[in-house]
């Protein structure tokens, strides 16, 4: 009985937490309920490269448009080079990116990292990850081709609705005690940082529930 209700809860929570990648066009509509694919699956929800269309993206970086279903999410955007990227070793979100709200989020231009130089015709894939504060993550990928003629989305094509976002200021990321550099505390800084966000008790409880849900879901479905 307990397991059944947990499983139902887990499924409801999954539907609410999944996200859509509207631009660049994702490899596959992983919200469609197609059982071959799951947004839980690293690195690209189980969707192979080349399943969808390849979008032309500007050489200096382009737009990202997401459909977010959670009250808030951390968003990570990574890039892998080649026709069939399996290593997403360039990040377009070099610090924590937080979005608040439930709806459409469009970022007009996400610049490429300075150590990445691309040429017209280069193939790549973008990996978009959304996560909550427990690190529970969902994945979608989009295949792109860099084009000098491509333009970032603008105006009506890149409107956000009910979602705001931005990089979390460095000052709020770490411990609130700057003198406590992590040499003696044995890696506890991360834990205390997370506790400040959610409150220690909430965090522990949610983690236990999250683990239970993940376990039930992994076993049951
Ligand atoms: C690729 O784009 C074409 C034309 O816009 C569209 O008809 C097709 O459904 C797209 N394919 C996928 C897999 O989304
Ligand atoms: C997000 O919005 C939809 C419809 O606009 C609503 O049904 C849903 O409950 C909302 N979810 C959250 C987490 O606010
Ligand atoms: C906007 O997002 C908040 C947070 O997720 C949600 O509670 C609210 O229902 C959303 N409003 C609309 C109009 O979707
Ligand atoms: C892409 O790479 C994966 C993993 O290395 C491999 O299994 C797959 O066959 C490759 N697909 C193509 C079209 O090369
Ligand atoms: C990223 O991985 C590719 C192989 O997929 C490699 O060619 C490239 O040098 C790597 N770049 C960095 C910055 O690690
Ligand atoms: C991210 O945004 C949510 C909602 O606004 C907020 O509760 C949370 O503390 C933020 N995370 C950080 C690290 O600022
Ligand atoms: C903590 O470590 C960072 C990175 O090594 C350094 O830049 C900073 O000055 C240190 N802060 C203190 C108070 O020691």
Any ligand 2 atom below 6 A from CB of 15: no
> Which ligand approaches the C-alpha of residue 116 most closely?
5
Residue 56 falls within a domain, yes or no?
A: yes
Q: What is the mean pLDDT of the chain?
A: 79
What is the 184 CA–ligand 6 centroid distance (Å)?
28
Mutate to test the pocket of ligand 6, among 68, 70, 71, 72 (most ligand atoms within 8 A of CB): 72
Among the residue ranges 21-30, 153-162, 180-189, the one predicted with the least confidence is: 180-189
Residue 65 belongs to domain spanning = 2-216
Residue 98 has pLDDT above 60, yes or no: yes
**Cβ of 103 less than 6 Å from ligand 3:** yes
**Which distant-in-sequence residues (6+ apart) come within 8 Å of 172 by Cβ?**
none
Tally of domains within the chain: 1
* Mean pLDDT score, 166-191: 51
**Please, are residues 193 and 173 in contact by the beta-carbon 8 Å criterion?**
yes
Ligand 6 atom with least separation from CA of 72: 4
The pTM assigned to this predicted structure is 0.75
Q: Are 125 and 115 in contact (CB under 8 A)?
A: no
Tell me: pLDDT of 53 over 90: yes
CATH (domain of 145): 2.60.40.10
**98 Cα to the center of ligand 6, angstroms:** 7
pLDDT beyond 70 at 196: no
Evaluate whether 132 touches 100 at the Cβ level (below 8 Å).
no
pLDDT at residue 1 is higher than 70: no
Measuring CA to CA, how many Å separate 98 from each of 66, 86, 190?
13, 25, 17
Mutate to test the pocket of ligand 5, among 49, 84, 87 (most ligand atoms within 8 A of CB): 87
Q: Tally the residues of the chain.
A: 221
Query: Best substitution site from 72, 99, 102, 130 to test ligand 3's pocket, by max atoms within 8 Å of Cβ?
Result: 102
């Amino acid at each position: 009985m307990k397991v059944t209700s947990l499983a139902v809860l887990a499924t409801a929570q999954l539907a609410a937490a999944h996200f859509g990648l509207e631009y660049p066009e994702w490899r596959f509509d992983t919200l469609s309920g197609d059982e071959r694919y799951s947004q839980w699956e690293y690195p690209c929800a189980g969707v192979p490269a080349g399943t969808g269309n390849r979008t032309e993206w500007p050489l200096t970086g382009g737009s990202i448009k997401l459909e977010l279903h959670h009250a808030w999410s951390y968003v990570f955007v990574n890039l892998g080079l080649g026709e069939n990227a399996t290593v997403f070793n360039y990040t377009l979100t070099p610090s924590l990116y937080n979005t608040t709200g439930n709806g459409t989020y469009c970022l007009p231009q996400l610049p490429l990292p300075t150590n990445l130089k691309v040429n017209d015709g280069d193939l790549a894939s973008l990996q978009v990850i959304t996560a909550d504060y427990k690190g529970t993550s969902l994945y979608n990928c989009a295949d792109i081709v860099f084009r000098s003629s491509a333009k970032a989305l603008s105006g009506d094509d890149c409107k956000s609705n009910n979602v705001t976002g931005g990089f979390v200021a460095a000052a709020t990321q770490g411990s609130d005690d700057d003198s406590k550099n992590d040499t003696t505390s044995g890696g506890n800084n991360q834990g205390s940082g997370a506790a400040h966000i959610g409150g220690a008790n909430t965090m522990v409880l949610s983690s236990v529930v999250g683990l239970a849900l993940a376990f039930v879901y992994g076993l049951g479905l």
